[in-house]
Amino acid sequence: MKRRACYLAIGFIALALAACQQGGQKQTLGTLLGAVGGAVAGSQIGKGRGQLVAVAAGTLLGSFLGSEIGKSLDRADRIAMENTTQRTLESAPSGNAVSWRNPDSGHSGTVTPQPSYQNASGNYCREYQQTITVGGRTETAYGTACRQPDGSWKIVNG
């Protein structure tokens, strides 16, 4: 329960930071991915209050770095990433990374799905790891997506 409250707080921090950004959708996406990645990294450090401080610091640092990377993602990058994510969640074997690359920008990334499961509502969901590399800097984030009635996958947390 304590860990769930911590992740909920992280989500609110990430959304608040994203709302403060002025750079548009790609910067917001980078901010959110960075915040989540930083929070996950911070959660691995210390115990109790020390861990909470590490999560907060990781969230702030990750959102800053993610924002900087997000500024660099163009529309073609986002389309390549989104198409790869959809395709990967639908048909890639668990644990197999699927790559995307925009030859014009040189930006790239991977999506690595985990086994699917049914949530309490009966929807099929998959957790996944996503990386984005821009200018030699790689950010990693973790999320969960659930399959919609139309066959698409909707990110339910990022």
DSSP string, 88-130: HHHHPPTT--EEEE-TTT--EEEEEEEEEEE-TTS-EEEEEEE
Contact 101, 2 (CB under 8 A): no
Averaged pLDDT, groups of 10, the chain, 158 residues long: 46 45 52 63 61 63 60 80 94 97 92 96 94 90 93 85
In angstroms, rounded to a whole number, what is the distance separating the alpha carbons of residues 147 and 158?
A: 15
In angstroms, rounded to a whole number, what is the distance separating the alpha carbons of residues 100 and 88?
A: 11
Domain boundaries, the chain: 2-72, 80-157
* Closest among 16, 14, 57 to 32, alpha carbons compared: 14
In angstroms, rounded to a whole number, what is the distance separating the alpha carbons of residues 63 and 53?
A: 15
Supply 73's token pair.
């993602």
Helix (H, G, I), strand (E, B) or coil at 89: helix
Model pLDDT, residue 12: 42
Model pLDDT, residue 125: 96
pTM for the structure as a whole = 0.57
Model pLDDT, residue 23: 44
Model pLDDT, residue 77: 87
Model pLDDT, residue 96: 97
The number of angstroms, rounded, from the C-alpha of 54 to the middle of its chain's C-alpha atoms is 19
Element (H, E) at 3: helix 2-20
Element (H, E) at 128: strand 124-134
Model pLDDT, residue 16: 45
Q: Which residue has 């930006």 as its token pair?
A: 107
In angstroms, rounded to a whole number, what is the distance separating the alpha carbons of residues 100 and 86?
A: 12
